[in-house]
Amino acid sequence: MSKTIVVPPFGVEIDHPRNCDVMLQSIPNCRLRGAVSASKGTIVNKQDEDNTPVIPEGQATFLGALPPIPGMQIHVNPAELRYKIIDPIHGNDAFCKRLEKALLGKGVVIKDLKGVPPKESDLDEHRMKTLCRELLHIMEINHGRLVKGPRPSIEDVDELPGRYLLNPGSRVPSGLPQYEDQYDEYIGGLRKVGM
């Protein structure tokens, strides 16, 4: 009797250490704004032995005038093959007005700041499995943090139904196989014909 592995729903907030956005490969055209804070460095000083990010003076002054901006979140429900993208500032009119005012103080005019409306959709089992692993990697490299639910293990994600996509971000035919588990056979075939 085989056991069924269930990965409970979980949510990740994008929180890149250099105030960057993150592009998800598993969802077409999905760019998530990372949390923005004046305390994060954005330039790595190559002369430092530890490659510590430094905050350029102009950036520190500009971002220091802004309230900390939360990152966008992605919540996944692997059992239902659904995901939802949430922008914590969407619908928070008080925060948006405060941010508009702070930006105006720095000479940036933005009117009617609203944030990004929520988006919810389904994925097939292969894309969901690939997305769950991608989100684990985002957390492992500190480009995001868990904000809801238990953090799944890679072993549990490996046991989800479906197969990992080889190149989930590709939007054009490439001649490569669709799934990672087909790659070795593909390379073996190329070697046989002398490529």
Ordered DSSP codes for the chain: -PPPP----EEEEE--TTS--EEESSSTTEEEPPPB-TTS--EE-TTSTT--EE--HHHHHHHHTSPPBPPPEEEEETTTTEEEEE-TTTT-HHHHHHHHHHHHHTT----S---PPPEEEE--HHHHHHHHHHHHHHHHTTSEEEEESPPPPHHHHHTSSS--BS-TT--S--SS-SBGGGHHHHHHHHHHTT-
Total-model pTM = 0.84
* Domain range list for the chain: 10-162, 165-195
Distance CA 131, CA 162 (A): 12
Report the share of the chain in percent with pLDDT over 70: 84
Residue 6: the pLDDT is 81
Residue 50: the pLDDT is 64
Helical H segments across 86-192, by residue range = 93-105, 125-140, 154-158, 183-192
Question: pLDDT by residue (tens digit) across 113-135?
Answer: 999 999 999 999 999 999 999 99
Q: How confident is the model at residue 105 (pLDDT cuts 50, 70, 90)?
A: confident
Is a pLDDT exceeding 60 seen at residue 87? yes
Question: pLDDT by residue (tens digit) across 10-27?
Answer: 999 999 988 899 999 999
Between 19 and 143, where is the model more confident?
143
Is a pLDDT exceeding 50 seen at residue 2? no
Is a pLDDT exceeding 80 seen at residue 58? no
Is a pLDDT exceeding 80 seen at residue 1? no
Half-sphere CA count of 61, side-chain side, radius 13 A: 6
Mean pLDDT of the chain: 86
Between 166 and 59, where is the model more confident?
166
Is a pLDDT exceeding 70 seen at residue 194? no
Question: pLDDT by residue (tens digit) across 177-192?
Answer: 888 887 777 777 777 7
Between 106 and 151, where is the model more confident?
151
